């Protein structure tokens, strides 16, 4: 009876179930190609510096589009904002596929992805914050992670296999279909609107310095993990699409194993779960400096899968608590209560990508990619300020 009650706490909300299914489908689609995109660009002849600038443009456009995305949520609803984001994502992948024959700068293509990210993530964060409940939020975030990761385990491995057997054309066609279908579950319930009026003076960024530093840490750590680390692996260690996909899948598998413990821990002690994950995550990034063989990559990435579960779930639980103005121990300062939910999301979605853009532009000055691992280790410590 207790287990049934626990399941109801996690899956009893129709809106949350829609988010679970939608995110799982989108994650599955993107996971089949996203890890290979930086390598795809380098293989087309673009230098590491050009690829880093490309991803920096993605993040800068993301940050610049956030206010427009918030206005879209206010006027059309958050689910329509997510729907409107999908054409930009599909055009982005189409442009990448035809890049060898297109007479177009990759930086224009990057703008498509940046606009998609702004529309999608503003809508998603508001939706999840509104649909989840504080007392069960850790387990609900954990359920979302599990749903997404179960598909992510198959995604990179299947994506690598399809690339080897059929090439990018078949892979991209499958991705497009999944992306379009992923939005449908969200419209099984009514639209949600979130009012918004532009006024940066209300954000009072100087009062939220610790929060801003945490968002900076998130942006840097996530960017190094998703852009620089795959490039480092492919060109310095594995040199094989299928092996790279398998490594990513193994890391995700360990994340799934530890998500339950991280989610349950986050419901009990959010900040302790975050601190535990952040400190261990920092050590994993330092360990990556000494990785030289495929076996070591499997080991380090497996450990990373577990540490990031604690760090990210703890962070997200506290973030949604603060975004909802919850008066609890998770709210670090009364200053957080002066914001609307969507305004708090705006701060995150501006600072995160700008921090990611900054580390990418800085890395253009370095020839040794592993330098970024030290930065990611330091960025993990910034989570402790949240």
Q: Is position 117 within any domain?
A: yes
Mean pLDDT throughout 44-59?
A: 94
Task: Please check whether residue 111 lies inside any domain of the structure.
Answer: yes
Q: How far apart are CA 383 and CA 307, in angstroms?
A: 13
373 within domain boundaries: yes
**pLDDT for the residue numbered 7:** 44
CATH number at residue 258: 1.20.1250.20
Q: What band does 205 get if pLDDT is binned at 50, 70 and 90?
A: low
pLDDT classification of 339: cutoffs 50, 70, 90: low
CB 33 within 8 A of CB 172: yes
Rounded percentage of the chain residues whose pLDDT exceeds 70: 85
> What confidence tens digit (pLDDT) does each residue in 140-191 have?
888 888 888 787 777 766 777 787 787 777 877 888 888 888 888 888 888 8
Q: Is residue 96 part of a domain?
A: yes
The pLDDT-based confidence of 250 (bands split at 50, 70, 90) is confident
Count of domains observed in the chain: 1
Residue 277 has pLDDT above 50, yes or no: yes
Query: Is 336 or 294 the better-scoring residue by pLDDT?
Result: 294
Residue 344 corresponds to which tokens in the numbers above?
Answer: 């708090």
**What is the reported pTM?**
0.87
pLDDT surpasses 90 at 17: no
pLDDT (0 to 100) of residue 51: 93
| Between 33 and 336, the higher pLDDT residue | 33
- What band does 125 get if pLDDT is binned at 50, 70 and 90? very high
Residue 5 predicted with pLDDT over 60: no
* pLDDT tens, position by position, 284-320: 999 999 988 888 888 888 888 889 989 999 999 999 9
Q: Is residue 2 part of a domain?
A: no
Domain that holds residue 307: 14-385
Burial of 203 (0-12, 13-18, 19+ CB in 10 A): middle
What is the 8-class DSSP label of residue 367? Answer: S
What is the structure's pLDDT at 122? 94
CA dihedral 208, 214, 216, 222 (to 10 degrees): -150
In a domain, 184, yes or no: yes
In a domain, 75, yes or no: yes
As a whole number of angstroms, the distance between CA 38 and CA 335 comes to 40
Q: What is the DSSP letter of 183?
A: T
- Cα–Cα distance, 209 to 204 (Å, whole number): 10
1, part of any domain: no
Q: Residue 266, Cα to own-chain centre: how many angstroms?
A: 19
């Amino acid at each position: 009876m207790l287990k049934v009650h626990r399941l109801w706490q996690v899956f009893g909300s129709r809106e949350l179930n829609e988010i679970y299914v939608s995110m799982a489908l989108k994650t599955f689609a993107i996971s089949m190609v996203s890890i290979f995109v930086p390598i795809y660009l380098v293989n087309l002849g673009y230098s590491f510096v050009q690829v880093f600038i490309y991803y920096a443009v993605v993040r800068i456009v993301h940050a610049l589009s956030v206010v427009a995305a918030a206005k879209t949520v206010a006027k059309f609803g958050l689910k329509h904002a997510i729907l409107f984001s999908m054409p930009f994502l599909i055009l982005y992948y189409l442009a990448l596929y035809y890049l060898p024959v297109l007479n177009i700068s990759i930086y224009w293509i990057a703008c498509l992805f940046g606009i998609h990210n702004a529309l999608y993530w503003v809508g998603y964060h508001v939706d999840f914050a509104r649909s989840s409940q504080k007392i069960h939020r850790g387990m609900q975030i954990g359920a979302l992670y599990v749903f997404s990761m179960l598909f992510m385990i198959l995604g990179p491995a299947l994506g690598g296999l399809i690339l080897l057997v059929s090439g990018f054309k078949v892979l991209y066609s499958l991705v497009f279909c999944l992306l379009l279908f992923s939005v449908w579950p969200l419209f099984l319930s009514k639209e949600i609107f979130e009012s918004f009026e532009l006024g940066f003076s209300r954000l009072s960024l100087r009062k939220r310095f610790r929060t801003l530093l945490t968002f900076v840490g998130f942006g840097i750590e996530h960017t190094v993990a998703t852009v620089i680390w795959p490039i480092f692996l492919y060109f310095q260690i594995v040199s094989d699409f299928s092996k790279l996909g398998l490594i990513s899948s193994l890391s995700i598998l360990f994340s799934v194993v530890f998500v339950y413990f991280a989610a349950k821990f986050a419901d009990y002690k959010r900040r302790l779960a975050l601190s535990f994950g952040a400190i261990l995550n920092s050590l994993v990034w330092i360990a990556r400096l000494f990785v030289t063989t495929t076996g070591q990559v499997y080991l380090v990435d497996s450990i990373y899968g577990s540490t990031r579960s604690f760090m990210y779930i703890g962070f997200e639980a506290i973030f949604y608590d603060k975004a909802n103005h919850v008066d609890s121990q998770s709210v670090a300062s009364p200053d957080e209560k002066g914001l609307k939910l969507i305004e708090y999301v705006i701060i995150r979605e501006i600072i995160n990508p700008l921090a990611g853009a900054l580390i990418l532009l800085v890395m253009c000055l370095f020839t040794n990619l592993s330098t970024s691992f030290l930065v990611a280790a330091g960025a993990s410590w910034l989570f402790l300020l949240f």
